[in-house]
């Protein structure tokens, strides 16, 4: 787990080595155990290292014997030992025991197709001087980040915005369309960022950049595929899932340093701890964050798991004064990020880093196994809006005639399960009317701009079921750009590696074959209960009552903090309505006052985060990116 960066100057007017030195220093927190840079011609690359595997031999950038190929890499390859054996049988020789060298040799043998062989989390760049190209890739789920800057004369890449901002051409031009996306969803969807000319390489993508002339090409090498289904009994499914998850956890525990686990007390993290306790010879170190407010506190459930599996358990309470960390948090995220759970995630990472350099997390269970309540609402919408005349047999042939005489009784209805706007609407933070009112008059047009990420995820979904389509959308948007971004930034701020065994290609391939009807309890709307195979599995270990209790979620008790304490609530109003408030450069002051007095706690929070981000930015306004 590390930080990477690089800078390519086509004009040959800038000292690339000096730029990368500055970029590497800016992400020192991601790799406290070492740093390295390499410079040749118009290209320089850098690396910050957090040592997890082969503590002495995995230094980067790493070169092959010819000196033509240089690698800078962030992540872990869990099947590196298997790949090493394959490569050794083909005559490749190794100088180290690191997965870094396995990745380097894999690129030597398979070129860009090496990404199809990898199982793990990664973002890497290969400077291939024999081809005069830079090859970059990001893991299938987007566990590790990869940003890049492109203006036609220069190309730069990095793990975080803090490094990108050190390139000489940096102007920090804000994309108002991306800011509107933030108001909608509390995060910004890939490939966009809050800045023009700066992008996120999407999950499961690879990029080729030429060294001599301005050219870049982005290709998708992996996307979720739910098309193939396999029928089996519920008991057989749970048995198969049990074996698959246990194997994944075991492979994720390969390390040369001590490790622990995040334990919220929920289904996913509890299962991870159960497997770790079964696999390891020593007690698992577990870390939990809680609140005094009952509606957000799951510490009692975390303690139950810790007691059952005899872990070394550590926990902390988060209070309102935790918001004091918001300016630092905003700086590290680099762009507006409004998920409230970033605060407790930040705190649990800080707690864990005091004891271990690596942890296991339960991220991915809700997306891969349809655990969110939003899926129940979605299924209810789809059922309500199904066409009354089924498109088959005699009814299909008679439908046009019937509709001619009774158009209202038999309307022409498109497949509601393909309507991404209907999926989006309940997820919006600021809906369209409130965003339109919020923006100052010259900028209101941005509220009408489409968000292509959601539309693309629906249109390109591999599988016809409406539930799988919604899951596919979550995996490519919310999970990638919110959940995984949050954990990466918070953990790496403290030099802590976080590994999610559920987000493993072998686990996904098993889950993707589960028929939709087996993912939930057969009900829709408010009675929907998702993630059924995982809950049935946990019920075997912790009992049905524990596994099937109501989901609470890992977030701040912000409603309680603000609604029942006028002094705390007034703090947000004072910040947003101050004469020096930066949000007033973009939004109507009267609309801002309305948000601080009448809007939901979530929307107040979004504006507060945006204000703190703007205070650190001081960038000129610009139009949406072309």
Q: Torsion angle of alpha carbons 457, 461, 465, 468, nearest 10°?
A: -60
Interval 333-357: pLDDT, tens: 999 999 999 999 999 999 999 999 9
Q: Phi then psi for 195, rounded to 5 degrees?
A: -110, 145
Q: Tell me what pLDDT residue 397 has.
A: 62
Spatial distance between the Cα atoms of 113 and 63, rounded to a whole number of angstroms: 19
Q: Tell me what pLDDT residue 621 has.
A: 47
Least confident range from 24-28, 448-452, 454-458, 621-625: namely 621-625
The residues near 71 (Cβ < 8 Å, ≥ 6 apart) are 60, 61, 62, 63, 100, 103, 104, 107, 124, 125, 126, 127
Spatial distance between the Cα atoms of 27 and 23, rounded to a whole number of angstroms: 7
Q: Tell me what pLDDT residue 403 has.
A: 52
Mean pLDDT over 89-116 rounds to: 95
Is it the case that residue 620 has pLDDT exceeding 60? no
Cβ atoms of 530 and 371 within 8 Å: the answer is yes
Tokens for 261, please give them: 């686990």
Among residues 223, 68, 64, the alpha carbon closest in space to that of 142 is found at 223
Spatial distance between the Cα atoms of 279 and 264, rounded to a whole number of angstroms: 20
Cβ atoms of 143 and 589 within 8 Å: the answer is no
Specify the length of the chain in residues: 626
Mean pLDDT over 579-607 rounds to: 93
Tokens for 276, please give them: 């770790």
Spatial distance between the Cα atoms of 432 and 135, rounded to a whole number of angstroms: 40
Spatial distance between the Cα atoms of 311 and 275, rounded to a whole number of angstroms: 12
Q: Tell the burial category of 396 from Cβ atoms under 10 Å away from its Cβ (0-12, 13-18, 19+).
A: exposed
Among residues 504, 534, 505, 508, the alpha carbon closest in space to that of 519 is found at 534
- Per the rule left: phi > 0, alpha: psi between -120 and 50, beta: everything else, 438 is alpha
Confidence of residue 619 (pLDDT cuts 50, 70, 90): very low
The one-character DSSP state at 550 is P
Does the CA dihedral 538-540-546-548 come out positive or negative? Answer: positive
* Sheet-wide strand order for 43-49: 34-40, 43-49, 2-9, 154-158, 147-150, 198-200
pTM of the shown model:
0.92
Mean pLDDT over 407-412 rounds to: 50
Mean pLDDT over 57-86 rounds to: 92
Tokens for 563, please give them: 């609604």
The one-character DSSP state at 165 is T
- Strands (E) in 508-549, as ranges, are none
Interval 428-466: pLDDT, tens: 999 999 999 999 999 999 999 988 899 888 888 877 699
Cβ atoms of 301 and 274 within 8 Å: the answer is no
Q: Tell me what pLDDT residue 389 has.
A: 47
Spatial distance between the Cα atoms of 525 and 373, rounded to a whole number of angstroms: 8
Tokens for 383, please give them: 């059922």
Mean pLDDT over 76-92 rounds to: 95
Beta carbons within 10 angstroms of residue 563's beta carbon: 11
The residues near 212 (Cβ < 8 Å, ≥ 6 apart) are 10, 132
Strand partners, 39: 44
Alpha-helical (H) ranges within 253-341 are 267-279, 299-308, 326-333
Q: Phi then psi for 491, rounded to 5 degrees?
A: -70, -45
Tokens for 525, please give them: 């709307």
Q: Which residues are catalytic?
A: 2
Among residues 288, 245, 238, 247, the alpha carbon closest in space to that of 266 is found at 288
Q: 82-102: b or e for each residue (b if 16 or more CB lie within 10 Å)?
A: ebbeebeeeebeeebbbbbbb
Spatial distance between the Cα atoms of 176 and 174, rounded to a whole number of angstroms: 6
Residue where the block lists tokens 């870390």: 287
Residue 203, Cα to own-chain centre: how many angstroms? 9
Among residues 597, 361, 398, the alpha carbon closest in space to that of 490 is found at 361
Residue where the block lists tokens 């992540």: 75
Q: Tell me what pLDDT residue 50 has.
A: 66
Tokens for 380, please give them: 């209810």
Radius of gyration of the chain (CA): 25
Interval 240-258: pLDDT, tens: 999 999 999 999 998 777 8
Cβ atoms of 513 and 376 within 8 Å: the answer is no
Confidence of residue 626 (pLDDT cuts 50, 70, 90): very low
Q: Phi then psi for 237, rounded to 5 degrees?
A: -60, -45
């Amino acid at each position: 787990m590390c930080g990477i960066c690089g800078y390519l100057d086509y004009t040959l007017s800038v000292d690339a080595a000096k730029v990368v030195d500055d970029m590497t220093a800016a992400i020192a927190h991601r790799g406290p155990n070492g740093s390295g840079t390499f410079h040749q011609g118009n290209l320089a690359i850098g690396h910050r290292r957090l040592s997890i595997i082969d503590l002495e031999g995995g230094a980067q950038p790493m070169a092959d014997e010819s000196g033509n190929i240089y690698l800078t890499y962030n992540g872990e390859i869990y099947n590196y030992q298997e790949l090493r054996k394959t490569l050794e049988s083909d005559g490749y020789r190794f100088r180290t025991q690191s997965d870094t060298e396995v990745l380097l040799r894999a690129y030597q043998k398979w070129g860009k197709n090496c990404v199809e062989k990898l199982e793990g989390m990664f973002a890497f760049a290969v400077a291939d001087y024999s081809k005069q190209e830079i090859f970059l890739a990001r893991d299938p789920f987007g566990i590790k980040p990869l940003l890049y800057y492109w203006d036609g004369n220069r190309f730069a890449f990095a793990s975080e915005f803090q490094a990108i901002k050190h390139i000489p051409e940096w102007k920090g031009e804000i994309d108002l369309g991306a800011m509107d996306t933030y108001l909608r969803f509390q995060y910004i969807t890939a490939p966009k960022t809050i800045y023009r000319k700066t992008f996120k390489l999407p999950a499961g993508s690879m990029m080729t950049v030429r060294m001599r002339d301005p050219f870049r090409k982005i290709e998708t090498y992996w996307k979720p595929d739910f098309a193939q289904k396999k029928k089996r009994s519920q008991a057989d499914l749970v048995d198969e899932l049990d074996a698959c998850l246990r194997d994944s956890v075991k492979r994720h525990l390969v390390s040369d340093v001590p490790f622990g686990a995040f334990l919220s007390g929920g289904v996913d993290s509890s299962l991870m701890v159960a497997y770790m306790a079964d696999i390891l010879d020593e007690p698992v170190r577990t870390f939990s964050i809680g609140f005094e407010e009952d509606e957000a506190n799951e510490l009692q459930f975390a303690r139950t798991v810790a007691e059952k599996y005899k872990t070394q358990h550590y926990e902390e309470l988060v209070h309102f004064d935790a918001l004091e960390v918001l300016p630092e948090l905003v700086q590290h995220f680099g762009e507006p990020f409004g998920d409230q759970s970033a605060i407790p995630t930040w705190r649990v990472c800080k707690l864990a880093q005091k004891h271990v350099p690596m942890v296991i997390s339960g991220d991915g269970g809700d997306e891969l196994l349809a655990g969110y309540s939003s899926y129940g609402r979605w299924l209810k919408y789809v059922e309500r809006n199904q066409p009354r005349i089924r498109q088959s047999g005699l009814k299909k042939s008679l439908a046009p005639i019937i509709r001619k005489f009774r158009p209202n009784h038999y309307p022409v209805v498109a497949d509601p399960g393909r309507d991404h706007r209907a999926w989006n609407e309940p997820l919006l933070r600021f809906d369209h009317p409130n965003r339109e009112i919020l923006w100052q008059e010259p900028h209101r047009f941005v509220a009408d701009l489409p968000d292509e990420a959601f539309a693309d995820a629906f249109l390109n979904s591999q599988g016809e079921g409406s539930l799988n389509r919604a899951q596919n959308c979550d995996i490519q948007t919310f999970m990638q750009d919110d959940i995984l971004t949050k954990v990466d930034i918070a953990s790496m701020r403290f030099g802590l590696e976080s590994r999610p065994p559920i987000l493993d290609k072998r686990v996904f391939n098993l889950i993707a074959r589960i028929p939709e009807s087996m993912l939930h309890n057969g009900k829709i709307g408010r009675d929907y209960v998702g993630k059924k195979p995982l809950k049935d599995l946990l019920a075997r270990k912790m009992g049905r009552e524990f596994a099937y209790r109501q989901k609470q979620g890992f977030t701040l008790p912000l409603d309680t903090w603000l609604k029942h304490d006028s002094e705390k609530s007034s703090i947000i109003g004072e910040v947003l309505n101050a004469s020096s408030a930066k949000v007033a450069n973009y939004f109507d002051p009267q609309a801002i006052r309305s948000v601080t007095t009448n809007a939901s706690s979530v929307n107040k929070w979004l504006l507060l985060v945006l204000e703190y981000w703007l205070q650190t930015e001081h960038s000129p306004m610009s139009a949406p990116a072309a």
